[in-house]
Amino acid sequence: MKPWSRYNTLFLSDHSGWFLYNALSGLMLELDEPHYRIACSLRDGKQLASADIDSGFMELLEKNGILAERQDEQLKLMTSRYQRNATCFSTATLSLTICPTLACNFACPYCFEQSQNDETIMSDETIAALVEFIKQHHDARTLTVSWYGGEATLAFDVIEKLTKKFIELYPGYDNAGMVTNAYLLDQDKIDQLKELKINAIQITLDGSEATHNKRRMLKNGGATYERILHNIDLLMNSSWEGSCAIRVNVDKTNQDEYTALHTELLERYKGKDLSVYPGYVNTFEGHDYDDQCAFDNSDRAAFTLNQYQKESIVPKNGFFPGSGVHNTCVAT
């Protein structure tokens, strides 16, 4: 019999009973009491009585790495590292996050970008340098772009210029996303999204209309919620065929508003390709945002469980850790 994996965790849930989780494979098993006791004996290295041996259960444990030789686990880890490194150094795809401007029309108090008064827009020289950079990576088969800011829609002409260049270099280029506050996302810009190959948009709200307007206001203090909702209406009722993700910024001051907004938005855009998820507001040393309001990891966990248990809202990526190869190499 193979030994008990060091990546196993046995635990008792007050609400759901006994569980066995393996961190290496990501497997979660729900156990009845007899099989939980067998698992405890295996964990503790005790000899099982012949009457307690369930051959089907033992086969399941071995097949899923609950019982595993150390060298087999080491090989699995080495394989995972190899796949991660191969992904990191692969030149098949060139993924760029491009900031066409540092300027922003909002004055959010928690913003991590201390450049709210920087009106810089990408120059023609920088555009040319970026195009040259892409040419130097001609071995990449595909190009993906995420437009960021500042507020990207303040430099929409830059997005247009660069997209034309991208299409010249990559005739099959069709995968771009944009992060925007949506205040300037009017019908004219929406009509250009398909031509600009933008098929995914992220828009941020901050809770109820009253709360949002206190936290995501214009630089002159003006309200933004109503206009953003109007522009989302235009977007989701247009001929655009992309997906829209609404990020709702959540901290200790507005967490009680999330459920109502989540329900309202999904009902308002029922049948549309629109999702809603929480974005947890954090702070960092030297920032004026009150760290007493920010969520730490425990707050996030409590909020997520509360949403699931009381409101049946499942997290965007579920509860399980991802089991695939995740690796990103970023340079600026």
Compute the distance between CA of residue 120 and CA of residue 100 in angstroms, rounded to an integer: 9
**pLDDT confidence tier of residue 15, bands split at 50, 70 and 90:** confident
Segment 41-60 shows an average pLDDT of 87
Compute the distance between CA of residue 269 and CA of residue 232 in angstroms, rounded to an integer: 9
- Tokens standing for 235? 């977007």
pLDDT, position 111: 79
**pLDDT confidence tier of residue 332, bands split at 50, 70 and 90:** very low
All structural domains of the chain: 8-85 (no CATH), 93-311 (3.20.20.70)
In the predicted structure, residue 186 carries a pLDDT above the cut 70: yes
Residue 202 has φ and ψ, to the nearest 5°, of -110, 130
In the chain, pLDDT over 90 holds for what percent of residues? 70
Compute the distance between CA of residue 323 and CA of residue 27 in angstroms, rounded to an integer: 9
pLDDT, position 326: 55
pLDDT, position 118: 75
Q: 95: part of which helix (H) or strand (E)?
A: strand 93-98
Torsion, Cα of 189, 181, 261, 222 (10° steps): -110
The structure tokens 């997290």 sit at: 315
Q: 128: part of which helix (H) or strand (E)?
A: helix 124-136
Residue 243 has φ and ψ, to the nearest 5°, of -110, 145
Residue 272: CA count within 13 A, CB half-sphere: 24
Are 245 and 201 spatial neighbours (Cβ–Cβ below 8 Å)? yes
Residue among 254, 249, 273, 276 nearest 265 (CA): 276
Least confident of 37-51, 134-148, 193-207, 281-295: 281-295
Sign of CA dihedral 71, 76, 81, 82: positive
Amino acid at 160: E
In the predicted structure, residue 210 carries a pLDDT above the cut 50: yes
Segment 60-66 shows an average pLDDT of 94
pLDDT, position 319: 76
* DSSP annotation string for 237-282: TSS---EEEEEEEE-TTTGGGHHHHHHHHHHHTTTSSEEEEEEE--
pLDDT, tens digit, 9 for 90 and up, residues 284-328: 555 555 555 778 888 998 999 899 889 999 888 777 776 555 555
**One-letter-per-residue 3-state SS of 8-61:** EEEEEECCCEEEEEECCCCEEEEECHHHHHHHHHHHCCCCCCHHHCCHHHHHHH
Segment 13-30 shows an average pLDDT of 91
The structure tokens 């995968």 sit at: 175
pLDDT, tens digit, 9 for 90 and up, residues 258-275: 999 999 999 999 999 999
Give all strands of the β-sheet with 8-13 in edge-to-edge order. Answer: 8-13, 17-22, 27-31
**pLDDT confidence tier of residue 105, bands split at 50, 70 and 90:** very high
The β-bridge relationship of strands 93-98 and 27-31 is: unpaired
pLDDT, position 324: 58
Torsion, Cα of 118, 122, 123, 127 (10° steps): 160
pLDDT, tens digit, 9 for 90 and up, residues 111-131: 766 555 678 899 999 999 999
Which pTM was predicted?
0.82
The structure tokens 């001051």 sit at: 253
User: How far is CA 55 from each of CA 35, 50, 139, 251, rounded to the nearest angstrom?
Assistant: 12, 10, 52, 50
**pLDDT confidence tier of residue 5, bands split at 50, 70 and 90:** very high
- Tokens standing for 272? 């549309």
- Tokens standing for 62? 């071995």
- Tokens standing for 257? 């508003």
**pLDDT confidence tier of residue 249, bands split at 50, 70 and 90:** very high
What does pLDDT average to over the chain? 90
The structure tokens 């500042």 sit at: 150
Segment 29-42 shows an average pLDDT of 94
